[in-house]
């Protein structure tokens, strides 16, 4: 029974992580787009005058989408039309079953590995789920009975077929290096050092494979520069054109869930997953007290610095808007002061005298935090790329996939195999 409980807890962790990150990513996307295009971005939605720099907007979005009328085309194929958004979201979430987000956690004397299902074929499972992700989009495109959605669905299919292959080939190089299909083995192997100083991350041992993989992931998630299935300037909104209300919201959320998963895959395969470079788990456990103390001091210092930046802004922009927005920097500064105060209050508990149980918890917590930090960084990379690069043309996409990426993937595999055979 404990294993059922453990698994449910891990599923719960990922559900909260994905859903939380989706909300944060929507905000990051809007503010990031505004930052790159040199404008302010959303800042109008407010709860009682508090706008939190646009963070209230996702909440407003949720309410809008929940209460909107669900308009559907009369000549749709009802069953597939209703199935498609559900399928997109389910498939997007199920990749998470095999991704390790930490080494292990000791709960009441039991070692709980921090991965929902440690499959011996984990890497193939990731590819299999990625190949199923097409269906929701295709079904949506076809069942809406609209030429534009149909074109979007067809584009999505051909794009995903084309880039699945180079994605698989890129990962095979990684499998040769770490000689396992198990994701926990691949991440554990990335904790080693090459020549005593270089972390043996996937990106270090497979640089070309990393570039192939990251481009293939962008293509699989249908994000710019590969968002041809949506292509709003060509086919209106592509496959989700005929969806409204919560069904559209599911597609929208699935896109961000795919981003979170793409970022997790990049972090897991090529950036050491939960590994902290030069800080293997035994070292963390041996010096847990020191690390925790330094960490609390570091958090306090950094949040004090951020609070000071807010204070400076509050003084510089005094009375700029003439309404509740003037108080926002003060509020931000106050929040960061609170964080700093919390961190300093933690020092009262004498974290340097932590015991072995606490050391284990600290090590697990640090690893999970390292994983989440990497995921957030690569999710930001997705946003960064989207607002920097223009969209591909369809023939350019196909040319890149079949005539450039596939031969490069094969070459990468052969060279890796040769090097592995010689070394």
Partner 1 sequence: MEGILFWVCGILMVFGGLMMVVQRSAVVSAVWLIFAFVCAAGIFALLSAPFLAVMQILVYAGAIMVLFLFVIMMLQGPVLEGGRKRLALPMWPAVAVPPMAIAVMIIGYVKRHGTTGMGGPAPEGFGSPEHVAELLLGKYLLAFELISIVLLVAIIGALAVGKDERKLPWK
| CB nearer to partner 1: pick between 237 and 330 | 237
Q: How far is the CB of 421 from partner 1 (least distance, A)?
A: 15
Contact assessment for residue 382 and residue 262, using Cβ atoms and an 8 Å cutoff: yes
Q: How far is the CB of 235 from partner 1 (least distance, A)?
A: 12
Q: How far is the CB of 142 from partner 1 (least distance, A)?
A: 5
Taking phi over 0 as left and psi of -120 to 50 as alpha, with beta for the rest, 46 belongs to beta
Contact between 50 and partner 1 by CB under 8 A: the answer reads: no
Contact between 161 and partner 1 by CB under 8 A: the answer reads: yes
d(CA 375, CA 22): 12
| CB nearer to partner 1: pick between 87 and 300 | 87
Contact between 75 and partner 1 by CB under 8 A: the answer reads: yes
Q: How far is CA 24 from CA 217, 239, 283, 308, in A?
A: 21, 25, 33, 24
Contact between 226 and partner 1 by CB under 8 A: the answer reads: no
d(CA 222, CA 225): 8
| CB nearer to partner 1: pick between 128 and 349 | 128
Determine which residue in the list 43, 95, 134, 412 makes contact with partner 1, applying CB under 8 A. 134
Select from 9, 409, 381, 352 the least CA-distant residue to 171.
Answer: 409
Q: How far is the CB of 2 from partner 1 (least distance, A)?
A: 15
Q: Which stretch binds partner 1 (CB under 8 A): 159-167, 281-289, 312-320, 365-373?
A: 159-167
Contact between 101 and partner 1 by CB under 8 A: the answer reads: no
By CB neighbour count within 10 A (0-12 exposed, 13-18 middle, 19+ buried), where does 265 fall? buried
Contact assessment for residue 203 and residue 381, using Cβ atoms and an 8 Å cutoff: no
For the chain, the straight-line distance linking the first and the last C-alpha, in angstroms and rounded, comes to 46
Q: What is the dihedral of CA 275, 279, 281, 285, to 10 degrees?
A: -140
Q: Which stretch binds partner 1 (CB under 8 A): 103-111, 134-142, 322-330, 356-364?
A: 134-142
By CB neighbour count within 10 A (0-12 exposed, 13-18 middle, 19+ buried), where does 55 fall? middle
Contact between 127 and partner 1 by CB under 8 A: the answer reads: yes
Contact between 142 and partner 1 by CB under 8 A: the answer reads: yes
d(CA 246, CA 240): 12
Q: How far is the CB of 191 from partner 1 (least distance, A)?
A: 23
d(CA 25, CA 253): 10
Q: Which stretch binds partner 1 (CB under 8 A): 121-129, 197-205, 219-227, 346-354?
A: 121-129
d(CA 101, CA 373): 11
Q: How many residues bind partner 1 (CB under 8 A)?
A: 32
Contact between 259 and partner 1 by CB under 8 A: the answer reads: no
Q: Which of residues 166-185 bind partner 1 (CB under 8 A)?
A: 181
Select from 272, 264, 113 the least CA-distant residue to 190.
Answer: 272
| CB nearer to partner 1: pick between 147 and 403 | 147
| CB nearer to partner 1: pick between 60 and 124 | 124
Site string for partner 1, 182-221 (x = CB under 8 A): ----------------------------------------
d(CA 137, CA 274): 32
Q: How far is the CB of 124 from partner 1 (least distance, A)?
A: 4
Provide the binding-site residues for partner 1, judged by CB under 8 A: 75, 77, 79-80, 119-121, 124-125, 127-129, 131-132, 134-135, 138-139, 142, 145-147, 149-150, 153-154, 157-158, 160-161, 164, 181
């Amino acid at each position: 029974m404990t294993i059922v409980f453990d698994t449910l807890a891990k599923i719960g962790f990922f559900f909260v992580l994905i859903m939380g990150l989706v909300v944060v990513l929507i905000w990051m996307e809007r503010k990031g787009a505004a930052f790159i295009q040199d404008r302010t971005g959303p800042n109008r939605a407010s709860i009682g005058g508090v706008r939190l720099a646009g963070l209230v907007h996702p909440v407003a979005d949720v309410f809008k989408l929940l209460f909107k009328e669900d308009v559907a085309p009369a000549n749709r194929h009802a069953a597939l039309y209703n199935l498609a958004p559900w399928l997109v979201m389910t498939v997007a979430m199920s990749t998470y079953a095999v991704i390790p987000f930490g080494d292990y956690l000791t709960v009441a004397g039991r070692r709980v590995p921090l991965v929902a299902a440690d499959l011996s074929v984990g890497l193939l499972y990731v590819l299999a789920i990625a190949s199923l992700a097409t269906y929701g989009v295709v079904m949506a495109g076809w069942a809406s009975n609209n030429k534009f959605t149909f074109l979007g669905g067809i584009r999505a299919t051909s794009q995903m077929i084309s880039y699945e292959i180079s994605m698989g080939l890129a990962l095979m190089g990684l499998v040769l290096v770490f000689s396992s299909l198990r994701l926990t083995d691949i991440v554990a192997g990335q904790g080693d050092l090459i020549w005593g100083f270089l972390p043996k991350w996937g990106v270090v041992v497979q640089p070309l494979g990393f570039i192939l993989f990251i481009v293939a992931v962008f293509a699989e998630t249908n994000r710019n520069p590969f968002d041809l299935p949506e292509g709003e300037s060509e086919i209106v909104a592509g496959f989700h054109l005929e969806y409204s209300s919560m069904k559209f919201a599911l597609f929208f959320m699935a896109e961000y869930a795919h981003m979170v998963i793409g970022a997790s895959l990049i972090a897991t395969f090529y950036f050491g997953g939960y590994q902290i470079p030069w800080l293997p788990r035994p070292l963390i456990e041996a010096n847990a007290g020191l690390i925790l103390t330094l960490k609390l001091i570091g958090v306090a210092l950094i949040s004090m610095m951020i609070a000071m930046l807010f204070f400076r802004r509050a003084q510089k922009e005094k009375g700029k808007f003439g309404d509740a927005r003037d108080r926002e920097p003060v509020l931000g500064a106050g929040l960061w002061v609170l964080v700093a105060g919390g961190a300093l209050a933690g020092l009262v508990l004498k974290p340097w005298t932590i015991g072995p149980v606490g050391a284990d918890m600290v090590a697990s917590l640090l690893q999970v935090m390292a994983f989440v930090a990497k995921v957030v960084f690569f999710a930001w990379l997705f946003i960064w790329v989207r607002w920097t690069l223009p969209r591909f043309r369809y023939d350019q996409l196909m040319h890149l996939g079949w005539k450039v990426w596939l031969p490069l993937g094969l070459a990468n595999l052969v060279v890796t195999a040769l090097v592995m055979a010689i070394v």
